[in-house]
Structure 1
């Protein structure tokens, strides 16, 4: 499948089968994230793959949505802002940008393997940090639910036209 087709197939999955995700597929997905670009190649990320029922419940406490509980795997994307590149002119730390790139690599890699994902940012940050005893330097940026899709979306997301998002100078 070409890249445009892959990007069109990716969607925010909110219904998962209970089937386990094979370790080989998780390895492939993380390998794709590992090769994501980052500012000055600092790679300030760390990924927690959450598979056990006990640990999944800890994630679910931080984002209380019924659909979310059906995902067999969660990937928590964390960053260490102290090792991320900082632009000197305005002190802009690029950790969140680097994490976003890696997160989308995860979502696209999963799609290429026939898996669904949903990128979640609306979680209880402090509870997540406490539940996983994360050191202060590891800050969660996103939780990705991951699994085999049970139900395709009923409609596709409307996209703005090229004319609305591009200015040619």
Structure 2
């Protein structure tokens, strides 16, 4: 599928089939995250694959929605603040931006492989850190459940370009 078709076919999956995911596909998704660009190429991320039933249940319980319990695998995507680039002028830490780019690459690869994902950021970060025994400089940013979707497509609502695109300064209509 071409890139436009790929980005338009990706949607947030909240219903998964009870089908195991081939290890080769999981590796391709992880490699897509690995290949993502990052500020100064510092690659401040770690991907933790959660697929053992007991550990999976513990991680699923850090997010209070039942649908996540259907996912056969969850990637916990973490930022490493000890190696991320910080902007000199204001100290802005690029770790979250870099992780977001990596996760986006992962979601698109998953879609290409016939898998579905859903970004989850509203989870108990402290509990996940404790369960995974994360050092202080490693922050769990995203739970990325992954599996074969029950539905083939989802509905995506998007703002019009005129609502989000400006020309030369904020508020000027792009033409």
- 1:166 matched residue in structure 2: 165
* Residues 77 and 141, structure 1, Cα contact 8 Å, conserved in 2: yes
Helix, strand or coil: the match of 2:119?
strand
With the length of structure 1 as denominator, give the TM-score of the two structures: 0.96
Distance of 2:74 and 2:80 partners within structure 1: 19
- 1:100 matched residue in structure 2: 100
Distance of 1:144 and 1:11 partners within structure 2: 13
With the length of structure 2 as denominator, give the TM-score of the two structures: 0.93
Helix, strand or coil: the match of 1:146?
strand
Shift of 1:126: 0.5
Helix, strand or coil: the match of 2:43?
coil
Gapped runs of 5+ residues in structure 1? none
Moved over 3 A (4+): none
- 2:14 matched residue in structure 1: 14
The CA deviation string for residues 55-109 of structure 1, in whole angstroms up to 9 with x for no partner, is 1011112112111000001000001112100000111000000000001111001
Shift of 1:118: 0.4
After TM superposition, the structure 1 = structure 2 runs for residues 115-134 of structure 1, keeping only pairs within 5 Å, are 115-134=115-134
Gapped runs of 5+ residues in structure 2? 169-175
- How many residue pairs end up in the alignment? 168
Q: For the pair shown, which has the larger CA radius of gyration, 1 or 2?
A: 2
Helix, strand or coil: the match of 2:142?
strand
